[in-house]
Amino acid sequence: MFLANKKIDNQVKTFITYNKGRDWRLLQAPDTDLRGDPVHCLLPYCSLHLHLKVSENPYTSGIIASRDTAPSIIVASGNIGSELSDSDISMFVSSDAGNTWRQIFEEEHSVLYLDQGGVLVAMKHTSLPIRHLWLSFDEGRSWSKYSFTSIPLFVDGVLGEPGEETLIMTVFGHFSHRSEWQLVKVDYKSIFDRRCAEEDYRPWQLHSQGEACIMGAKRIYKKRKSERKCMQGKYAGAMESEPCVCTEADFDCDYGYERHSNGQCLPAFWFNPSSLSKDCSIGQSYLNSTGYRKVVSNNCTDGVREQYTAKPQKCPGKAPRGLRIVTADGKLTAEQGHNVTLLVQLEEGDVQRTLIQVDFGDGIAVSYVNLSSMEDGIKHVYHNVGIFRVTVQVDNGLGSDSAVLYLHVTCPLEHVHLSLPFVTTKNKEVNATAVLWPSQVGTLTYVWWYGNSTEPLITLEGSISFKFTSEGMNTITVQVSAGNAILQDTKSIAVYEEFRSLRLSFSPNLDDYNPDIPEWRRDISRVIKKSLVEASGVPDQHILVAVLPGLPTAAELFVLPYQDLTGENRRSAEDLEQISELLIHKLNQNSVHFELKPGVQILVHAAHLTAAPLVDLTPTHSGSAMLMLLSVVFVGLAVFVIYKFKRKIPGINVYAQMQNEKEREMVSQVSHSESRPHIPQTELRRPGQLIDDKVESQLIGSISIVAENQSTKEIPTYVNV
């Protein structure tokens, strides 16, 4: 027998069941109250409701109490009405396992079971001191008042002594709020003058509203007659028990079925009875449910048992149907280098004789002979990023089915670096590239902010091109979104009408201290700039130094125009040229150096690049650069003429006669056609055209230095930009 409180339409009501929850009903209220007046309470509008709480204090009996040695007696607090309430609480007792109830007190009491329930002891719940308690020898039908102390006691708890035959209880409390605890031991043995004999007992049958078969059996207990006042002793338990014939009441609805208004168990809307056969193979059998199952611990036999019991049935041969492939976590993403678990699900089909083929989409495929070997899922590791098409094919000889899953494999994005020139010219196209680590991450979204624009540009490519139409410092920001992670990098770029640039190199010992990290490069750039300013006396507003990534250590020196806040005193191109020549002169004189750490001196000098053309990124070319190019062209033409006419020039023949025999032999073997360069007339270009071609081959902000091959001691030529 079980009691439960259930909330129905915002009202808490007490229900009772005798078949482990198959059927529930409300509690019938007592016919009369404590004074014998009739109680007008009609089901289902009015019933008895109980507070089903067990005391957390081991020294109190709690709000409801029962004992397995007293199977028919239940004592609880509650109220009569339409719902459970915390007001008008009374005490109730049942002597027939919850079928009928009687009111015993109008206030809450602690009730203690003594002598196997033959004696009930009740003590009032009150904050006032008391010295009386109540005893009942007839299962709560009548109560007698007894004194347990001569001095009123504030009761803190009541505890029964252990043992089946105990008639001893202990009351503990204090006489005043300042006094120590007092223990009062009460022994009721003197009340009884004898032990109960066989004639003092009567048989009692457990029932539910007159129905004797409870959980498939009839149980008869031995109870002491209420009018006999004797000590019971040990508990004997049930006197008789015999099974009952099975009826529909002994069966509950099976899994996937629910009881309808007509009492029948029918399949629920979400349940497919045929799915029970999907896990069996041809030649095997399975239990085909009738929609019913016997209530757990029910002991009934025969009757409708055979009719309601599941029947073994041969497994039908079915073609695969309803194939699905999903990830174990339900997501469509996986991480590179980590296990991803795939689950293959089949609604129906012969799973024991089904061939399964899984293609992971990365060149790897596996096969399984049945689905039972894949119950824990298929684990696979992807070593590349991308979107992979995972296919699964099943075949059992009766048919086949297939399913597809698109899985997005990603790699966590760890770092974003924005690659951008440090300085550029106005109205010149600039390329900005987001360099990622690792480089293969998967599908990414790039969000760009550049210039003074507040509206971002969203792309799927990691590189964009743009122009700046005005001078000044501009900030470029890129945000890279990879799944739930967003990383960004910000760089600044200086925009001028014209500027000069020069590549710098350093003493080899600087490479030993270069960790190749942005923070170190920024710090060293400031130190180099300070050294240049001190060595040349050039204002620091004209100088920008940027140390480049990688080894060997190199840097870019930019000579920039500068104007004050009023916009006046702006440096001209000639001024920038003079500043550049001064800096190059100081660099070639080894006047620029700095101390990296005590005892470590670093020399800064201009890098000498071979065959580096002069670059002019401004609309007008400088005069010195044009003169240098024209000189190179004239020298080339002179060499061409000499080679072409060398046999007709006397000076050349005299020179040849002055050489040793071997040299004369070599000169004589060279034919006229071999000594002449094969240069078509169409390939000869104007100097200006040559300059334009060289400009196109250079990156913006790159270094270009002209040095004659015949002499390495000449000062490198600066770059016009």
The DSSP secondary-structure symbol of 62 reads: -
Regarding beta strands 430-437 and 463-466, do their DSSP bridges make them parallel or antiparallel, or are they unpaired? antiparallel
Model pLDDT, residue 81? 94
Interatomic CA distance for residues 272 and 293, integer angstroms: 17
Superfamily of domain 321-410: Immunoglobulins (2.60.40.10)
What's the confidence (pLDDT) of residue 630?
63
> Each residue of 124-151: pLDDT tens digit?
888 899 989 999 988 899 999 989 888 8
SS3 87: coil
Q: What's the DSSP call for residue 683?
A: G
Confidence grade of residue 254 (pLDDT, cut at 50, 70, 90): very high
Half-sphere exposure of 274 (CA within 13 A, CB side): 9
User: Is the Cβ–Cβ distance between 112 and 158 less than 8 Å?
Assistant: yes
The predicted pLDDT at position 472 comes to 82
Reported confidence tier of residue 279, pLDDT bands at 50, 70, 90? low
The residue ranking higher by pLDDT, 195 or 82, is 82
The residue with greater pLDDT, 275 or 205, is 205
Query: What pLDDT score was predicted for residue 388?
Result: 93
CA-CA distance, 435 to 445, in Å (whole number)?
Answer: 13
| C-alpha of 186 from chain center | 63
- pLDDT at 14 > cutoff 80: yes
Instruction: Give residue 616's pLDDT.
Output: 37
**Record: fold of 415-496:** Immunoglobulin-like (2.60.40)
> Contact 174/182 with Cβ under 8 angstroms?
yes
Residue 679 pLDDT more than 60? no
Q: What is the spatial distance between Cα 269 and Cα 259, in angstroms, rounded to a whole number?
A: 12
Say if residue 468's pLDDT is above 60: yes
Share of the chain above pLDDT 90, in %: 29
34 close to 103: Cβ distance less than 8 angstroms: yes
Q: Which residues contact 603 (CB under 8 A, 6 or more apart)?
A: 506, 507, 590, 592, 593
SS3 at position 717: coil
Residue 634 is predicted with a pLDDT of 66
CA nearest to 119, candidates 131, 102, 106, 133: 133
From the list 618, 615, 644, the residue with the least C-alpha distance to 629 is 615
Beta bridge partners of 381: 339
Least confident among 197-201, 243-247, 374-378, 457-461: 374-378
The mean predicted confidence, pLDDT, of the chain is 79
Residue closest to 552 by CA, chosen among 489, 602, 588: 602
The alpha-helical segments, DSSP class H, found in 412-543 are: 518-536
For 181-217, write each residue's pLDDT tens digit: 888 888 888 888 888 888 888 888 999 988 999 999 9
Residue with tokens 């032990």: 195
What is the distance of C-alpha 472 from the center of its chain? 45
Assigned token pair, 215 = 């959980």
Strands, E, within 244-338: which ranges? 251-253, 257-259, 265-267, 285-288, 292-294, 311-314, 321-327, 333-335
104: which 2 tokens? 């015993």
Average pLDDT over residues 142-164: 84
Average pLDDT over residues 574-579: 83
| Confidence band for 64, pLDDT divided at 50, 70 and 90 | confident
Asked if 503 and 703 count as a contact pair (C-beta separation under 8 A), the reply is yes
The residue among 188 and 43 whose pLDDT is bigger is 43
Range of weakest confidence among 294-308, 322-336, 540-554, 600-614: 600-614
Q: Which of 250-254, 311-315, 392-396, 439-443 has the lowest mean pLDDT?
A: 439-443
Mean local confidence (pLDDT), 554-559: 90
Confidence label for 618 from pLDDT (cuts 50, 70 and 90): very low
Identify which has the larger pLDDT, 101 or 68. 101
| Mean pLDDT within 692-698 | 35
Q: What is the mean pLDDT of residues 448-453?
A: 74
**Alpha-carbon distance values, 132 to 139, 162, 181 (Å):** 20, 23, 18
Q: Which residue has the higher pLDDT, 69 or 97?
A: 97
pLDDT of residue 594: 92
Topology (CATH level 3) of domain 251-315: Wheat Germ Agglutinin (Isolectin 2); domain 1 (3.30.60)
> Which CA distances in Å does 597 have to 391, 594, 600?
63, 9, 5
How high is the pLDDT of residue 218?
93
Instruction: CATH 2.60.40.10 in the chain: give the residue spans.
Output: 321-410, 415-496
* pLDDT score recorded for residue 471: 82
First to last CA, the chain: 98
Closest CA to 615 of 533, 712, 503: 503
Quickly state the pLDDT bin for 294 (edges 50, 70, 90): very high
Beta carbons of 124 and 109 less than 8 angstroms apart: yes
| 634-649 average pLDDT score | 57
pLDDT higher for 364 or 633? 364
Nearest Cα neighbor of 290 from 304, 301, 269 is 304
Place of tokens 């990879």: 482
Q: Please say if the pLDDT value at position 484 is more than 60.
A: yes
Q: What are the pLDDT digits (tens) for 103-116?
A: 999 998 888 888 88
Average pLDDT over residues 145-174: 83
Tokens at residue 374, please? 């894949």
Q: Is the pLDDT of residue 572 over 80?
A: no
C-alpha dihedral, 291 to 295 to 297 to 301, nearest 10°? -70
Buried b (16+ CB within 10 A) or exposed e, 248-278: ebbbbbbebbeeeeeeebeeeeeeeeeebbb
- 630 within 8 A of 687, measured Cβ to Cβ: yes
Task: Kindly report the backbone phi and psi dihedral angles of residue 530, in degrees, each rounded to the nearest multiple of 5, phi listed first.
Answer: -65, -40
Token pair 């009548």 is found at 142
pLDDT at 613 (0 to 100): 32
pLDDT at residue 694, as a whole number: 34
What is the C-alpha separation between 408 and 405, in angstroms, rounded? Answer: 10
Residues 6+ apart with CB under 8 A from 117: 67, 69, 70, 73, 139
pLDDT tens, 320-341?
888 889 998 888 888 888 899 9
Question: Tokens 């119950």 correspond to what residue?
Answer: 375
Round to whole Å and give the CA distance between 292 and 307.
9
The CATH 3.30.60 domain(s) of the chain lie at: 251-315
Task: Give start and end residues of each alpha helix (H) in 103-154.
Answer: none
Q: Among 583, 570, 427, which Cα is nearest to 500's? A: 583
For residues 335 and 483, is the Cβ–Cβ distance under 8 A? no
Give whole-number Cα distances, 588 to 448, 503, 705, 712, in Å: 42, 13, 13, 11
Cβ contacts of 368 within 8 Å, gap of 6 or more: 355, 356, 358, 374
pLDDT-derived band of residue 406, with 50, 70 and 90 as boundaries? very high
DSSP designation for 715:
P
Share of the chain above pLDDT 70, in %: 78
Least confident of 249-258, 285-294, 604-613: 604-613
Question: Do 76 and 64 contact (CB within 8 A), yes or no?
Answer: yes
Angle between helix axes 573-588 and 518-536 (nearest 10 degrees) is: 100
Radius of gyration (C-alpha) of the chain in whole angstroms: 51
pLDDT of residue 632: 60
Assess whether pLDDT exceeds 80 at residue 451: no
> Alpha-carbon distance 354 to 681, whole Å?
79
Q: What residues have CB less than 8 Å from 3, skipping those under 6 apart?
A: 14, 15, 16, 50, 52, 64, 98
Residue 80: which pLDDT band, with cuts at 50, 70 and 90?
very high
- Please tell me the predicted confidence (pLDDT) of residue 278: 59
